[in-house]
């Protein structure tokens, strides 16, 4: 069984009473794959013949349901807490949120931060299409979260793509659940940016300033996919010394960052990235084999073990955690060697040997 999921937690349950109940007769099986309840077939996009707009609308509804379902998995299966931001928001103000483990800020053990690519998908997802076509095991961040909790202690799951409230979509969603008539497409669409989260960069800096930087963990690692890599380097540039002091490793996956452009050739940032970062890229070579990358020559680059961009995160999961574990071990060993206790101990040993 892919995940031990409570019986009442299902995608199908979220659809109950909606007009899409018949059009979307799908749920996730015990392997975490999306399958039709009657035919056991994979998701079919062209449900309506020659009606792209209707099919697209149906797919959007499925995407919204998957988002809600993954949020539930994060809270009820991974036992993460939903944290609303900004922390000083008024009651009626549009807010964003992210997820973190219970002791993420108070535990002195290491902390892992997950930073996804850009797109319509939200916290807990590497890619929505990947969830639909390949299943929860490949498309969600849950395998990473479970491994982070087992091996490192704390985890923070960012929600960098939750930037706006679309009033039209919200009203349509309300009608989706209540059966009321939705706004027509001719009516205006109002986009309201969420304060402190109006872009992936702003969201990440806010969570860093108010949570990660204040956490008890002295050792923080980032796992950043696609545009998430660019967002991390932006954070590094904006909060240079803080990040350099607190972050011990970064695992990039097919990152879109460009150090020369973003850091304006700052030699300290380039040196730090070279020393503390590694990138896994979609490539035909076996997993972890060195790959020459003209784009990001600033850090060691290895193969993700797949040529498919969408499968890169799940394919290099174990390799990434192996890298984080060895990097953390090397750091703590070095720190102990230079600690006053270790120095006194070695000095007294030398005296005893004389």
Looking at residue 181, what DSSP letter applies? Answer: P
The burial of 122, by beta-carbon neighbours within 10 Å (0-12 exposed, 13-18 middle, 19 or more buried), is given as: buried
108 CB contacts (<8 Å, ≥6 apart)? 216, 217, 218
Element (H, E) at 126: none
Q: 154 forms bridges with which residues in the sheet? A: 111
In 93-171, where do the E strands start and end?
A: 96-100, 111-115, 154-157, 164-166
Strands (E), the chain: 26-28, 34-36, 81-85, 96-100, 111-115, 154-157, 164-166, 191-193, 220-225, 247-253, 277-281, 301-303
Residue-wise pLDDT tens digits, 15-30: 887 888 889 999 999 8
Q: In the numeric block, which tokens belong to residue 30?
A: 């015990």
| Distance separating alpha carbons of residues 231 and 233, to the nearest angstrom | 6
Q: What is the mean pLDDT of the chain?
A: 87
Q: How confident is the model over 88-134, as pLDDT tens digits?
A: 999 889 999 999 999 999 998 899 999 999 999 999 999 999 999 99
Tell me the C-alpha distance between 109 and 111, whole Å.
7
For the chain, what percent of residues have pLDDT higher than 70? Answer: 84
SS3 content of the chain, % helix, strand, coil (to 5): 45, 15, 40
What confidence score (pLDDT) does residue 288 get? 97
For residues 140-149, average pLDDT: 96
Radius of gyration of the chain (CA): 23
Q: In the prediction, which pLDDT does 177 show?
A: 39
* pLDDT for 81: 98
Q: Look at residue 178 in the predicted model and tell me its pLDDT.
A: 36
What is the DSSP-derived secondary structure letter of residue 110? -
pLDDT score for 342: 46
Token reading at 36: 């039709």
Phi/psi zone of residue 179: left (φ > 0), alpha (ψ -120 to 50 degrees), beta? left
pLDDT tier, 192 (very low <50, low <70, confident <90, very high otherwise): confident
Distance (Å) of CA 215 to CA 20, 157, 315: 43, 15, 30
pLDDT at 265: 78
Per-residue pLDDT tens over the stretch 343-354: 454 445 555 555
pLDDT at 109: 87
Q: Which residues contact 34 (CB under 8 A, 6 or more apart)?
A: 11, 26, 27, 28, 42, 43, 131, 132, 135
What is the reported pLDDT for 293? Answer: 63
CB 77 within 8 A of CB 4: yes
Report pLDDT for 185.
40
* Token pair 């969570």: residue: 207
Q: Which tens digit of pLDDT belongs to each residue from 75-89?
A: 999 999 999 999 999
Question: 71-99: buried (b, 16+ CB within 10 Å) or exposed (e) per residue?
Answer: bbbbeebbebeebebeeeeeeeeebbbbb
Model confidence at 262: pLDDT above 50:
yes
pLDDT digits (tens, 9 = 90+) for 290-339: 997 655 557 999 999 999 999 999 999 999 999 999 999 988 887 656 65
């Amino acid at each position: 069984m892919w995940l031990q999921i409570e019986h009442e937690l299902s995608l199908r349950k979220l659809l109950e009473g909606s007009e899409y109940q018949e059009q979307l007769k799908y749920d996730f099986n015990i392997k975490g794959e999306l399958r039709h309840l009657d035919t056991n077939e994979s998701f079919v996009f062209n449900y309506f013949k020659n009606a792209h707009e209707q099919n697209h609308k149906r797919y959007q509804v499925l995407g919204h349901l998957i988002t809600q379902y993954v949020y539930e998995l994060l809270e009820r299966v991974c036992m993460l807490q939903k944290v609303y931001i900004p922390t000083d928001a008024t009651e009626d103000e549009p807010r964003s949120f992210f997820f973190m483990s219970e002791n993420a800020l108070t535990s002195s053990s290491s902390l892992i931060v997950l930073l996804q690519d850009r797109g319509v998908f939200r916290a807990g997802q590497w890619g929505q299409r990947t969830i639909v076509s390949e299943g929860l095991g490949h498309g969600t961040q849950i395998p990473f979260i479970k491994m982070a909790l087992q091996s490192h202690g704390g985890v923070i799951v960012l929600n960098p793509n939750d930037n706006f409230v679309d009033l039209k979509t919200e009203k349509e969603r309300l009608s989706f659940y209540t059966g009321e008539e939705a706004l027509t497409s001719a009516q205006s669409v109002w986009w309201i940016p969420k304060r402190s989260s109006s872009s992936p960069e702003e969201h990440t800096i806010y969570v860093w300033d108010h949570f990660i930087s204040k956490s008890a963990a002295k050792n923080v690692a980032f796992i950043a996919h696609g545009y998430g890599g660019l967002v991390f380097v932006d954070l590094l540039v904006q909060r240079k010394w803080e990040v350099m002091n607190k972050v011990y490793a970064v695992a990039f996956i097919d990152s879109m960052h460009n150090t020369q452009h973003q850091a304006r050739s700052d030699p300290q940032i380039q040196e730090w990235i070279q020393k503390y970062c590694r990138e896994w890229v979609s490539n035909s070579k076996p997993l972890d084999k060195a790959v020459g990358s003209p784009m990001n020559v600033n850090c060691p680059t290895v193969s993700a073990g797949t040529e498919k961009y969408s499968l890169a995160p799940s394919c290099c999961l174990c390799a990434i955690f192996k890298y984080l574990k060895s990097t953390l071990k090397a750091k703590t060993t070095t720190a102990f060697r230079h600690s006053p206790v270790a120095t006194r101990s070695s000095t007294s040993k030398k005296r005893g040997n004389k």
